[in-house]
Chains A and B, each alone.
Chain A
Amino acid sequence: MSDTLVKIGDAVAELDLDAVEPLVRDAVAAREEANAILEAMGAGMASVGELFESGEYFLADLVLAGEMMKEGVAVIEPLLKRDGQATKGAIILCTVKGDIHDIGKNLVGTMLGSAGFRVVDLGVDVPEEKVVEAIRTHGASSVALSVLLTTMVTSISDIVAAITEAGLRDQVKIAIGGACTTPELAERMQVDALGRDAVEAVRIFEGWLSD
C-alpha cells in the first residue's frame, strides 16, 4: 500500500476531518485505483469501529468518520462508476413504517458501505411492499431494519410477513436494531439477528457472508 493510502486510512481513523479529502485528491492524482482508495478509507473506518467498541470513540465520532468517508467518496465517485466497484453484495436498509428516526440507520449504512457492501438505503417510514420490491430489484440476500419507537415494532413483523408471503424468506436474512429492540423482540419478530450498534451490524452481515 502506498504512503498516501496509508495516510488516508490513518486520517479517517484519527478523525482528521480536513485531511481526508485533500489526501484522496492526492491519491487520485497519483493514479491510485479508486477501489484501493475506497479500501484505505474502509480500513480507517474499521479502526474507528474498533475504537468505538473499546469505548475510546463515541457515537458522534462514528458519525464524523462517516461524514469524512462521504467527502472522500464524493471525490472518487466518477472513477468508481467508470471502474466498477467491488462489493460484498446488496443489503436493503430502512427505518420501518411509522418511524422517521434516521441517525442509527444512516450510521449503519455508512459502516456497511465502508465495509464493502452495496447498501440500498430506502430511507425512513418505509412500507413492507417497498422492502420486498427492493429485495427483488437488487437481488439482496440481507435486510437491515431500524426502529427507535416501541410503538412501531409491529412494522417489523409486517415486513417479515411480507417477505415470507413473497416467498423470499428462505433466501433473505433479516437483522434489526434501534433503541427499543431487545433479544426478546428479535425472537418474537422472527428475525435472524439483533445489532446493538453500527459496528455490531457490520459483524453480523460479515458473519452471514462467511456462512
Chain B
Amino acid sequence: MPAAHDRILAALELRKPDRVPTFDLMQEYANIYEILRKKPLPIAFLFSNPYIAKIMDKVVAQPWVDQSRPVDKAMKDYTYDRTAASAKMGYDSAWVGYHPVWRYLSSKVVRDIYGRCWDVTLDGKGNVGTPMYRRGLISSPSDWKDWNKKDLLCLPEKNYRMFSLVQKDFGNRLFVFATFTGGLFELTWQCMGFEPFCVAIRREKEFIRRMIGFYTDLYCIMLEAFAEAGVPGVMYPNDMAYRSGPMLNPKVFEELYGESLRRLTGTAHALDLKIVIHSCGNVYSLLPWFADCGFDGVHALEPTAGVELAQAKEIIGDRLCLIGNIDVTHILVSATKEEVFETVHRAIQDAGKAGGYILGPTNSHPGMTVRNLRWMVEAVEKYGRYPLTG
C-alpha cells in the first residue's frame, strides 16, 4: 500500500500516521498549468473576443447543438491535469472533481444540469475561472417535473470512466477523494435561489423532499461508481454555514437532510469508501451533527469565518478527522515563507498532536500561488513528522 494512502487512512481513522498528511483542492487552471509546465490553450479568448463571443452566442443558442461532448472532453482533460498537478506537487491526497455538467447559454452565462445558472468568469491569464452562481431555474414542482434529468442519470457512468482512469494513473501516489458537483443542501437551494428556498421549506416541504430524495438516490449510485472505479475516498461538498454560523437552523438541517446524509455515509462505508464533508463558514455548531451523520472527516474549517483548529479539535476531534484550515486569503496568496511555515507549524500543533489532522487549504482560490503552496508542503515535511516536536 503506498505511503500516501496509509497516511490519509490513518488520519481519517484518527490514528497517528508517520507524518501529518497533506490535502489539495486546487481548481484553478493557471496554477495547474504552471505546475505541469503546460502552455494553456487560449480558451478565455473565445469568451472575451467580442466577435468570437457573438458567434458563440449564436451557436450555443441552436437547439441542434449538442454541447455535452466538447464540454465532457474539456472537463475530462481538466480533471486529469488537475490530478496530475496534485501528484506532481507531492500532496498525499487530492479532492478531484469531474464536472461534465455545464451547458453554455451564451458566452457570458452557463447553466448546469442541476438547474443552476452561473456567470462565466475569466482569470485574466487566458483561462476560464470558477463560474459564479447567479440564480436558479427550478422554482416549482412543475419546473422540477419538466426538468430534463437524462444528463443527471448519465453521471454515474461518466464518473466511473473518469475515476477509473484517475485511479489507474495516480492512485499509487495520491489518495483520491472523488466528489460531486454540490451537496444536497446546495443543489436544492441553488436551483431556486436562497430567498425562494427559505419560503419553500415552509410552504412546499414535500417538493424539497422530493428533490432531496432524487439526489440521494443518484448520489448513492455515484458512490457505487466511485467504488467500482477503485477510488478510496469521497468528498461531499456542501456549504451549510457562513461566517456567523449555520445557514439554516440545525434542527431543520436534520429534519430535511439528516436521513439522506446517513444513507450516503452508510452506503460509502458499506463500499469501503471514506467520506468527508466540506463546508465553508463557521461550522462549530454543526460539527457534532456531521459526526452523528457518519462522516469520517470535515474539511474547510475556515479561519476567516472564525474557525480555530484547537477549538474544533476540542469540540469533535475524537470523532472526526479535521482537514484544511490553511488560509487562502493571505497565507497561500501573498504571505512570506516565514508566515507560511509559522501557520503550518501552528496548525499541526493545534490539531495534529494526537493524529486525526490532514493539512491543506480551506478552499481553492485564484489568488493562491504555486510558490506558497510549495512552502506549505515543505513546511509539513519540516514540522509534521511524528513524534511531533514543539
**Interface, chain A (partner B; CB < 8 A):** 17-18, 55, 57-61, 63-64, 66-67, 99-101, 103-104, 106, 149-151, 179-180, 182, 196-197
Contacts and interface: CB of A to CB of B under 8 A. Distances in A.
A180 B329 contact: yes
B247 A58 contact: yes
Contact of B195 (A66, A179, A180): A66
In order of increasing CB-CB distance, the 6 nearest A-B pairs are A63-B198, A64-B198, A59-B247, A60-B198, A60-B248, A58-B249
Contact of A150 (B133, B198, B199, B367): B367
Nearest to A124: B134
B133 A59 contact: no
A55 B25 CA distance: 32
Interface string B167-202: 000000000000000000000000000110111011
Interface in B235-282: 242-249, 252, 280-281
A64 B246 contact: no
A18 B242 CA distance: 27
Given A100-B132, A101-B133, A151-B366, A60 B247 contact: yes
B246 to A, nearest CB: 6
A99 B201 CA distance: 27
Given A60-B248, A61-B249, A197-B244, A17 B202 contact: yes
A62 B195 CA distance: 10
A59 B198 CA distance: 9
B365 interface: yes
Contacts, number: 70
B246 A100 contact: no
B304 A179 contact: yes
B203 A17 contact: yes
B133 A60 contact: no
Contacts of A180: 304, 329
A180 B366 CA distance: 14
B307 interface: no
A103 B244 contact: no
Interface of B: 119, 132-134, 194-195, 197-199, 201-203, 242-249, 252, 280-281, 304-305, 328-329, 333, 365-367
Contact of A60 (B252, B281, B365): B252
B134 A58 contact: no
Contacts of A67: 195, 198-199
Nearest to B243: A179
Nearest to B119: A100
Contacts of A100: 119, 132-134
Contacts of A104: 242
Contacts of B252: 60
A66 B252 CA distance: 19
Contacts of B366: 151
A196 B201 CA distance: 26
Contacts of B132: 99-101, 149
Contacts of B280: 179
Contacts of B247: 58-60
A182 to B, nearest CB: 7
A104 B194 CA distance: 10
A104 B247 CA distance: 11
A145 B248 CA distance: 24
A68 to B, nearest CB: 9
Given A58-B245, A196-B244, A63 B195 contact: yes
26 contacts: A17-B199, A17-B202, A17-B203, A57-B249, A58-B247, A58-B248, A59-B242, A60-B197, A60-B249, A60-B252, A63-B195, A64-B198, A66-B195, A67-B198, A67-B199, A100-B119, A100-B133, A103-B194, A103-B195, A104-B242, A106-B195, A150-B328, A150-B329, A150-B365, A182-B304, A196-B244
Given A58-B247, A149-B132, 19 more contacts: A55-B245, A57-B249, A59-B242, A59-B248, A60-B194, A60-B198, A60-B252, A63-B198, A64-B199, A64-B202, A67-B195, A101-B133, A106-B195, A150-B365, A150-B367, A179-B304, A180-B304, A196-B243, A197-B244
